Amino acid sequence: MILCLATNNQGKINELKSLLSNLAIQIVGLKEIGCLIDLPETGHTFQENSLQKAQYVFDNFKIPCIADDSGLQIAALNGEPGIYSARYSGEHGDDKANIAKVLEKLSGIKNRNANFKTVVTYIGVDGQSLFFEGVIDGSIAEKPFGSNGFGYDPIFIPFGYSETFAEIAADIKNKISHRAKAVQGLLAYLKSR
């Protein structure tokens, strides 16, 4: 089975390929199916954005699809950056600028609790939409550490660890991350089919 992951983010594609490696599924990104536009993300929640992206791919390319919407939610910032995580600093996908903005806003703030949240939408060949959610709690580091991962990984320290997601080995991150938790639900569903 070919399954499109509705993203051009190679980090997300690699992560999902690793998480689903024991299934007979070929994961492809948007470029591989010829989708060269920025997918719509006009929802007000992770679930709305995730569904919107998956539905666009399914409706226009007639291929089973997985889409996720993920974000960092910081308690002291009333849940920011939330659904705006990828474009928090203004330009979509500018990880360094997004991290800099978070650290600037948290300057002098003691409560650095945060979580990463993912909602994964799966639309199968039948057109039915299913949702899988994953959350991991942690805190925000004072400055970036590590060079692995992407997005806010260099400043997010999951509870129970002393290293950021950008320092933790990929195989560990792929077991504990918000995306891993959501995909585990999807994986259980796919295995049951």
> Which CATH number characterizes residue 175's domain?
3.90.950.10
Query: In this predicted structure, what is the pLDDT of residue 171?
Result: 86
| Domain around 115 | 2-191
Calculate what percentage of the chain has a pLDDT beyond 70. 100
Catalytic, 69? Answer yes
Mean pLDDT, the chain, whole residue set: 92
Residue 35 scores a pLDDT above 90: yes
Are the CB atoms for 144 and 164 separated by under 8 Å? yes
> Which of 37 and 131 is assigned the larger pLDDT?
131
Token digits of residue 103: 């650290």
**For residues 95 and 182, what is the distance between their CA atoms, to the nearest angstrom?**
23
Alpha carbon distances (Å) from 153 to 36, 43, 78, 137, 187: 26, 24, 20, 13, 24
Residues 55-111 have pLDDT tens digits of 999 999 999 999 999 999 999 999 999 999 988 998 777 999 999 999 999 999 999
Query: In this predicted structure, what is the pLDDT of residue 161?
Result: 97
Count how many domains the chain has: 1
C-alpha count within 13 angstroms, C-beta hemisphere, residue 2: 11
Query: In this predicted structure, what is the pLDDT of residue 40?
Result: 83
Residue 1 scores a pLDDT above 90: no
Please identify which of the residues 69, 137, 153, 171 carries the catalytic annotation. 69
Residue 30 scores a pLDDT above 90: yes
**What is the pLDDT confidence band of residue 8, given thresholds at 50, 70 and 90?**
confident
Residue 19 scores a pLDDT above 90: no
